Structure 1
Amino acid sequence: MSTPASATKLDTQFHAWLNGDLWPEASAKGISKKTFDAAFDGVKPNLKLPDLVMPGKKATTPRKQHQAEFGSPGAYFAEKTVRAVTAGGRTRAAANARAIAAIEKRYGVPGEVLLAIWGRESGFGAAKMPYDAFEVLGTKAFMATRKDFFRTELVAALEIVERGLAPVGAMKSSWAGALGQPQFMPTSFLRHAVDFDGDGRVDIWNSVPDTLASIANYLVHYGWVKGRGWGLEVTVPEAVSCSLEGPDQGKRISQWADMGIKRVAARPFPARELKAEGFLLMPAGRGGPAFIVTPNFYVLKQYNTSDLYALFIGHGADRIANGDSNFSGRWGEVGGLHRSDIATLQRALEAEGYDVGSADGLPGFKTRRSIGKWQARNGRAATCFPDADLVTALK
């Protein structure tokens, strides 16, 4: 814990960094001294923010993260959480029907997808944004584990004010520095936020049309394919290896069908999709629902890199449009493991030459399919998902 003396010293270091290090860069990028001083007036480092490293110290993995329990992906889809988005989405679809129709026409992104993101990111604008963006971004640019990332975002936040897109007092954010109802980082605001309601201001804090159109503009920038959905739930026969998962192993959907993959509930694949490319997604390996996803799924991952986030948005959008119906597949139980166990497993796989993406304790698709390949090569049934026995075998 910091003492009054150490807090004063840190505050002095912070302001020396602002004026001696950050200001020359900001000035070179067109930020006026008036804007700079207004943004940091009264700002001090916020030591309650996560992922901070005190000056002169080395970054370490937080104990609570190291010991965090590794649970089933199904927990991400708690019915209460999903229904809050789907019920709220349907209500707001009716209330904003004209604006949504105009946004769909201009951008080609379905309204239910925009509503699902809006609901997930900020509870349709109800989530509190209690932080001063300059306090958050300034603290993190000065002393976080990803200082360079937050420095770029901090300069972008200054540019927002300098260009008159928002006053300093309106720059309210999350604890991570994300702005407004769509939770854009400042660089995303500058690239993708739009004035859709025509009032002359880009207002993602208060305007629903601006919020939804900005989300649509973001998705289009990253390649949203008009006329295609995000994906379909399927069943995968044992003869099809779960290690075929991933965005780099796409096939025509007709080819997946020829391999024995079927849509759930005996529904056919849409005829228009059969010649298009699809990708196998098994977020819990053999222990949960499986999907054939389209390139639009990976566009959703540009909003948040988690497979589960993109799946939540796709699933939520389907339920907003078609009514509340859960996945057909059921999520298996995962017990007795911590993120540190998963990281140990990942490092062991890396040592044997497998590509796990990152040994971060989170089993993304590269880790899942590497598990499946290791299991198959060692005479085990391929589940493509970590368990306690696998962790022990790989130690």
Structure 2
Amino acid sequence: MIRLLSRCALLLALLTALPASAQDRAAIEQQFRTWLEQDIWPAASANGVSRTTFDSAMGGVRLNWDLPDLVPPGSEATTPKRQTQSEFGAPGRYFRGVSGDAAIGRDLARRHAATLARIEQQTGVPGRILLGIWGRESAYGRAKIPHNVFEVLGTKGFMATRAPYFREELIAALQIAEAGHATGPLRSSWAGALGQPQFMPSNFLQYAADGDGDGRADIWGSVPDTLASIANYLARHGWVSGRDWGFEVTVPASVSCSLEGPDQGRPIAEWEAMGITRVSNRPFPDHERNGEGFLMMPAGRNGPAFVVTPNFYVLKDYNMSDLYALYVGHVGDRIQYGVGDFSAPWGAVGKMYRSDIAAMQRGLEGMGHDVGGADGLPGFKTRRSIGRWQEATGRPATCFPEPGMKAHLIR
């Protein structure tokens, strides 16, 4: 009888807890509506958005509680806790789709050859690079983009870990709607990115371009506009016409992997004089040898190595990932030159969680190393810090996190 009463009490407690949660969400929804009216509407109006456009865009929007990185009013950010057991992915996984993207890209290169040639002449950005980004961002326009941009940006602008950023993107999206750039509903990714180039709304307002001469910049339905917009973005971020993005190389043991990074550049001829060679056994192009190059080893000595040019870092302006920029450049090379996989294989990576790597990063920070932040992602600052620590302690420098390092770096 006592056990039955205990079960009944537990059930009653659970049942009464559910309405409270619903009431909390209802109260937050009301705060959201107030925020839209008192904060977003005045800001949108000051940026030329009409009341009709605002009501049409935001009238039926509700908070999307399924989006990541939300911090409801009155709570604390929980994103780091949710990520503590995220498994670290080996860099090689990122390239699993490269062959298929290149095959489709070669067909599209032929189909849109005249458009790509014209855009390259106007901007200096090679067509193969535009195709690489187009394929990576939206599967050449075939990817489903399922979300209502106003729901995404409204939710994130109200209660996300980077709320001020998304608030500004929401206002930019309202300006896009006011100008009538899109012919249908504005659909976006879960982060609020739009169209085939996956531009954030503020980037659309700055960089979207008319590639087909009809007076509109339609990144949703027009391939020429999509390609021209990507090219305009890269050109205005400093793409150097006539230079490549980079070259796969062999790095001899005499060259430290800790020399990686965009702040340790030197003329490519100097890297060559140090013993770094192209994997093709061909010399670097003459017009590249006096230009600045940078060592890039995304898996340390556990994978392919590259000497990249400033254009590689322009690609990183599009997406701040080394692997993203490398993927785009590599797909482009496969499209235009028919090259295959990288010559060096991606080595196996021991099982680690992002929390493990973040702990290693904090250990390195404690020793005075600049790892670029303890985020659980081994960027170039973390990789070379590992290499410098290895060299300083008499270990072979691999410049990449390994499970066995935890005991030495985590204190």
**TM-score for both structures, normalised by structure 2:** 0.93
Q: How far did 1:61 drift?
A: 2.8
> Residue type of the partner of 1:53?
V
> In structure 2, which of residues 6, 29, 32 is the aligned counterpart of residue 14 of structure 1?
32
| 2:283 match: secondary structure | coil
**Which residue of structure 1 lines up, in the alignment, with residue 196 of structure 2?**
181
> In structure 2, which of residues 74, 80, 83 is the aligned counterpart of residue 56 of structure 1?
74
**Which residue of structure 2 lines up, in the alignment, with residue 25 of structure 1?**
43
State the percentage of identical aligned residues.
61
> Residue type of the partner of 2:53?
T
**Which residue of structure 1 lines up, in the alignment, with residue 300 of structure 2?**
285
Q: What is the 5 A alignment of 1:350-389?
A: 350-389=365-404
Cα distance in 1 for partners of 2:178, 2:365 equals: 47
> In structure 2, which of residues 226, 240, 244 is the aligned counterpart of residue 229 of structure 1?
244
Q: How far did 1:77 drift?
A: 1.1
**Which residue of structure 2 lines up, in the alignment, with residue 212 of structure 1?**
227
> Residue type of the partner of 2:103?
A
> In structure 2, which of residues 268, 287, 294 is the aligned counterpart of residue 272 of structure 1?
287
Q: Mean alpha-carbon deviation: is it higher for 105-114 or for 58-67? A: 58-67
Q: How far did 1:3 drift?
A: 4.5
Q: How far did 1:330 drift?
A: 1.0
Q: What is the 5 A alignment of 1:84-103?
A: 84-103=100-119
| 1:156 match: secondary structure | helix
Match status 1:295 vs 2:310:
yes
Structure 2's unaligned 5+ residue stretches are: 1-17
Name which one, 1 or 2, has greater alpha-carbon Rg.
2
> Residue type of the partner of 1:342?
I
Q: Do the aligned residues in 1 keep the contact of 2:208 with 2:219 (CA within 8 Å)?
A: yes
Q: How far did 1:127 drift?
A: 0.5
Q: What is the 5 A alignment of 1:133-212?
A: 133-166=149-182, 169-212=184-227
| 2:79 match: secondary structure | coil
Q: How far did 1:268 drift?
A: 1.1
Structure 1's unaligned 5+ residue stretches are: none
**Which residue of structure 1 lines up, in the alignment, with residue 255 of structure 2?**
240
| 1:170 match: secondary structure | coil
Q: Do the aligned residues in 1 keep the contact of 2:101 with 2:139 (CA within 8 Å)?
A: yes
> Residue type of the partner of 2:90?
S
Q: Mean alpha-carbon deviation: is it higher for 65-74 or for 286-295? A: 65-74
Q: How far did 1:7 drift?
A: 3.2
For residues 206-254 of structure 1, the C-alpha deviation after alignment (integer angstroms, 9 at most, x for no partner) is: 0000000000000001100001110000011111111110001000000
RMSD: 1.3
Q: Mean alpha-carbon deviation: is it higher for 29-38 or for 208-217? A: 29-38
Cα distance in 2 for partners of 1:20, 1:59 equals: 24
Q: How far did 1:113 drift?
A: 0.6
Cα distance in 1 for partners of 2:386, 2:80 equals: 26
> Residue type of the partner of 1:310?
A
> Residue type of the partner of 1:226?
S
Q: Do the aligned residues in 2 keep the contact of 1:194 with 1:210 (CA within 8 Å)?
A: yes
**Which residue of structure 2 lines up, in the alignment, with residue 114 of structure 1?**
130
**TM-score for both structures, normalised by structure 1:** 0.97
